[in-house]
């Protein structure tokens, strides 16, 4: 896990300088720089929540990338000691995603939520990732090769947008700041006006030895394009980082069919 890379990715796409974001959350730019570069420890849940507010993304996303418990949950566990025992019991039973969905359905029917959850829904990856835009176990010698292939698949579903234009924009964003979020995953992305959000997936047969925030070789690219900006776009990026922190690269490393990709994404993206 490398939360700092995700924070930098989101900050740059939000158009905020290091100094701007640091000032808004009441810390020094030197401290925030150390966090982004993985030198300082992961910020407290309260500080992560403050960063999420300034970036206008769901705080649960950043908490999950950092594997931190949100203040909302922590306070509830403090107030209701029996809740901790129940969570421990769930962990011991090692329920699958499908089984947890059944538990959730029971809770929704028996104990309806009385107040809206503080965070907005997070846009999932699976709906914008079509089988034709998956390139599995590709062999290549450079990151540029993978970007070229992904751009070609994306351009085929974007009338009037050429692969060369997409590649140029993807490389421009990569030059601005690295899109690697750690755990073997990079999230190259490009803004293309008047286009729907689309994703391409490239898994690598042999990891690429490129610079990453945690020094883990690159094993996968999730390439995003779209005409949206603002909170929804940032939430998409943060969500992919969350998937990476939960082992996306490992789960898809041996996959050879598109249907398997969607099956494993369904497990990772099931309601928590």
What string of DSSP letters covers 114-166? SS--SSPPPPPSGGG--GGGEEEEE--SSHHHHHHHHHHHHHTTSTT--HHHH
Does residue 117 have a pLDDT over 70?
Answer: no
Q: Does the structure show a pLDDT above 80 at 191?
A: yes
Does residue 254 lie within any of the structural domains?
yes
Residue 218 lies in a domain: yes
Number of structural domains the chain divides into: 1
Residue 108 inside a domain? The answer is no
Residues near 22 by beta carbon (within 8 Å), at least 6 away in sequence: 28, 29, 31, 32
CATH number, domain containing residue 241: 3.40.930.10
Residue 116's pLDDT is 47
pLDDT of 61 over the 60 cut? yes
pLDDT at 137: 96
11 domain residue, yes or no:
no
> How far is it, in rounded angstroms, from Cα 77 to Cα 83?
6
111 within domain boundaries: no
With respect to residue 68, please indicate whether it lies within any of the assigned structural domains: no
The answer to whether residue 118 scores a pLDDT higher than 60 is no
Q: Note whether 56 and 234 are within 8 A (CB).
A: yes
**Domain around 210:** 126-269
Q: Identify whether 121 is part of a domain.
A: no
Residue 251 in tokens:
């789960």
Residue 212 lies in a domain: yes
Neighbours of 28 (CB within 10 A): 12
pLDDT value at 228 more than 90 = no
């Amino acid at each position: 896990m490398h939360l700092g890379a995700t924070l930098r990715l989101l900050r740059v796409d939000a158009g905020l300088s290091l100094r701007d974001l640091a000032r808004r959350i009441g810390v020094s730019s030197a401290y925030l720089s150390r966090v982004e570069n993985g030198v300082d420890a992961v910020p407290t849940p309260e500080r992560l929540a403050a960063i999420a507010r300034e970036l206008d993304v769901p705080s649960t996303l950043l908490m999950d990338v950092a594997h931190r418990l949100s203040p909302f949950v922590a306070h509830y566990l403090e107030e209701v000691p029996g809740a901790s025992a129940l969570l421990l019991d769930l962990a011991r039973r090692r329920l699958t995603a499908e089984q947890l969905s059944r538990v959730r359905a029971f809770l929704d029917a028996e104990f309806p939520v009385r107040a809206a959850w503080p965070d907005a829904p997070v846009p999932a990856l699976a709906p914008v990732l079509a089988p034709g835009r998956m390139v599995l176990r590709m062999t290549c010698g450079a990151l540029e090769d993978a970007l070229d292939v992904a751009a070609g698949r994306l351009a085929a579903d974007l009338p009037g947008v050429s692969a060369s234009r997409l590649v140029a924009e993807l490389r421009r964003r990569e030059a601005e700041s690295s899109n690697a979020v750690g755990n073997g995953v990079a999230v190259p992305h490009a803004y293309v006006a008047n286009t729907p959000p689309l994703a391409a997936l490239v898994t690598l047969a042999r990891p690429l030895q490129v610079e990453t925030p945690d020094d883990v070789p690159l094993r996968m690219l999730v390439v995003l394009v779209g005409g949206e900006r603002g909170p929804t776009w940032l939430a998409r990026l943060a969500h992919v980082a969350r998937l990476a922190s939960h082992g996306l690269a490992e789960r898809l490393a041996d996959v050879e069919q598109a249907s398997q990709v969607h099956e494993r994404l369904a497990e990772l993206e099931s309601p928590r």
